[in-house]
A = this chain, B = another copy of it.
């Protein structure tokens, strides 16, 4: 993997870059649609490729490990072949999912013992076996196994957890070195900075993490309830420590405004279930703001979903029709809005990137907030 910085915004820390891997180019800043168990929920791979066209998508180690299982993925030749996706994939390490299994998991120095949410069977993740699992899944970018702390988090717990995440990082790296690639392309490993919302811990974690040279570093343990302002504050004191010439990935974020502000602090990569999960629930991200298509005001609205959009899916159907589909629990409702939302996010990232390259990121931001607040329906 190679990362080149292309442009730096003069008035913020925002930057545009280009990652090159064996599965092609990733132009940053980028948003990765989430393909939890080997499918971006409710979206055909053809639409994904030809209409939404993301340079990279995310797969979840925890989910893929349980289903279809690693054995099946290996026999299919890895996740790319299994799901018929020939562009980039990043897999998380399962740390966040295991954190979400509150009451169904036990963490100790060795690793995490957890109960499957599917059948209650017991499993054990360690830094070592998660590296093997990610070799077998075969994503282009793979993540360190970390502990994601909750919010709020007691200082002493956050400190102990951070140190364990650092020890786990070393175990990940050692084991990865001994685990050969499974397929005929390379994989890049990103470590994860933790430390909850404590400045000294975040700084310590960032310094410790950059001790070893990698092509990219992730900021984990955010978007867990701390709120937008707290999250941005963490980025403000954490990101300056990470080397400029390396990729920075903010895990599990977020809403458009979270993304814009995080970009302005220097983040390059994002992922989030919002466009698809909220799409299934009837929430459409539009230039004018977020529309809740379940709302009865759209029942008789024959105007297209997003008149200002350049994407055909956003102009093909009326708000009234989509309202009807969502209310009738018809799969097509979620399919349309998920596709629309992913386009919205794609376009958002392209606009951000272009404005950084053209030196007009501050204008872009200003216009973004102006457009939003001027809409009367929100």
Residues on A lying within 8 angstroms of B by beta carbon are: 37-39, 41-47, 67-68, 72, 75-77, 82-84, 299-300, 302, 316-318, 320-321, 323-325, 327-328, 330-332, 334-336
B residues less than 8 Å from A317 (CB atoms): 83-84
Task: Determine if B324 and A335 form an interchain contact, defined as CB atoms under 8 angstroms apart.
Answer: no
Instruction: Let me know if A321 and B67 touch, CB within 8 A.
Output: no
Q: Is the CB of B75 within 8 A of A39?
A: no
Give Cα A269 to B320, complex, Å. 31
When C-beta atoms are compared, the residue in chain B nearest to A327 turns out to be B67
Also in contact, A331 and B41, with CB within 8 A (given A76-B320, A302-B76): yes
A62 to B: closest C-beta gap in Å: 13
* A316–B45 touching, CB < 8 Å: yes
A321 to chain B, nearest CB (A): 6
Are the C-beta atoms of B37 and A320 separated by less than 8 Å? Answer: no
Q: State how many copies of this chain the complex holds.
A: 2
Query: Once the chains are docked, how many angstroms separate the CA of A94 from the CA of B327?
Result: 21
Main secondary structure of the interface of A (DSSP, over half): helix
Q: Contact: A331 with B334, CB < 8 Å? A: yes
Taking a contact as CB atoms under 8 Å apart, the answer to whether A324 and B37 are in contact is: yes
Do the beta carbons of A300 and B72 come within 8 Å of each other? yes
CB distance from A328 to the nearest CB of B (A): 5
Contact A83 B321 (CB under 8 A): yes
In the complex, chain B residues whose CB is within 8 Å of the CB of A327: 67-68
Which 10 A/B pairs are nearest by Cβ-Cβ distance? Answer: A68-B324, A39-B332, A42-B331, A39-B330, A37-B328, A67-B328, A75-B300, A82-B321, A76-B302, A331-B331
B contact residues around A323 at 8 Å (CB) = 68
A76→B41 contact, CB < 8 A: no
User: How many angstroms between the C-alpha atoms of A44 and B323 in the bound complex?
Assistant: 16
* A253 CB → nearest B CB, Å: 24
B76 touches A321 (CB 8 A): yes
B75 touches A302 (CB 8 A): yes
A83–B321 alpha-carbon span in the complex (Å): 6
Using A84-B321, A317-B84, A321-B84 as known contacts, say yes or no to A41 and B72 having CB atoms under 8 A apart.
Answer: no
Least Cβ–Cβ distance between A295 and chain B, in angstroms? 14
**Assembled-state Cα–Cα distance A327/B37 (Å):** 11
* Nearest B residue to A51, CB-CB: B46
Known: A302-B76, A325-B39. A84 touches B331 (CB 8 A): no
> Chain B contacts of A82 at CB under 8 A?
318, 320-321, 324
Docked Cα-Cα span, A370 to B113, in Å, equals 53
